[in-house]
Amino acid sequence: MSGHAGARSGVDTVSERSGVSKSSLYRTFASKDDLIAAFAQEQNQRYWAWWDQTLAAHEGQPRRQIDALFNGIALQIAQPNFRGCPFMNLASELADPSHPAVAVACGNKEQVRTRLRELSRDLGARDPERLGDQLTLLMDGAYGRTLTLGANGLAGELHEMVKLVVAAQLAR
């Protein structure tokens, strides 16, 4: 039997894993694109809930907030079932840049950059936009590196790089 025999559609897999019938999925979502966009939006809401909770634990302490964010990233990418940043995955998997899920993915990344710039401003960085951009690059780089080379040793390197770029922006 060939590897494609009996292959199932994405909707079959979603139905099976979610425990929701295909007919219910089709009644709820007008198209597969709508389902993908809903998934992206749900992931986005979960991401910002995690972010806000992480920062709230260190209210008024931007340096500790940055450390907590990157500690959280290191924990996420070390999970054996980690499959990359869902927003980066969506943006790279969907060929149509006008797809609503790509809009959510790109919006998430823009918001990450904005929030890291704000944290950098709160930290007193000389150039908060630059530090925010550098931290964004480190975060996305960690996500990507994990998919290609694995997470082994990444947490330590990530923490060291964050420490270096923050120290460079705080040096007078």
Question: What is residue 37's predicted lDDT score, i.e. its pLDDT?
Answer: 86
Q: Which residues of the chain have pLDDT under 50?
A: 1-9
The overall pTM is greater than 0.85: no
Q: What residue ranges do the domains of the chain occupy?
A: 1-29, 31-170
Which CATH number describes the domain made up of 31-170? 1.10.357.10
Whole-number pLDDT of residue 15:
53
Position 145 scores a pLDDT of 92
Q: Indicate the DSSP class of residue 7.
A: -
User: Model confidence over 2-31: pLDDT tens digits?
Assistant: 333 333 446 666 556 656 565 665 665 557
Cα angle, residue 70 at apex, residues 69 and 71 outer, rounded to 5°? 90
DSSP-derived secondary structure for 66-90? HHHHHHHHHHHHTSTT----HHHHH
Beta strands in 30-79 (DSSP E): none
Exposure string over 133-148, b if 16+ CB within 10 A, otherwise e: bbbbebbbebbeebee
Whole-number mean pLDDT of the chain?
87
Confidence at residue 5, expressed as pLDDT on a 0 to 100 scale: 35
Per-residue tokens: 65: 């907030």
pLDDT in tens, 39-55: 899 999 999 999 999 99
Instruction: Tell me how far CA of residue 153 lies from CA of 76, 121, 139, 158, in angstroms.
Output: 14, 30, 15, 9
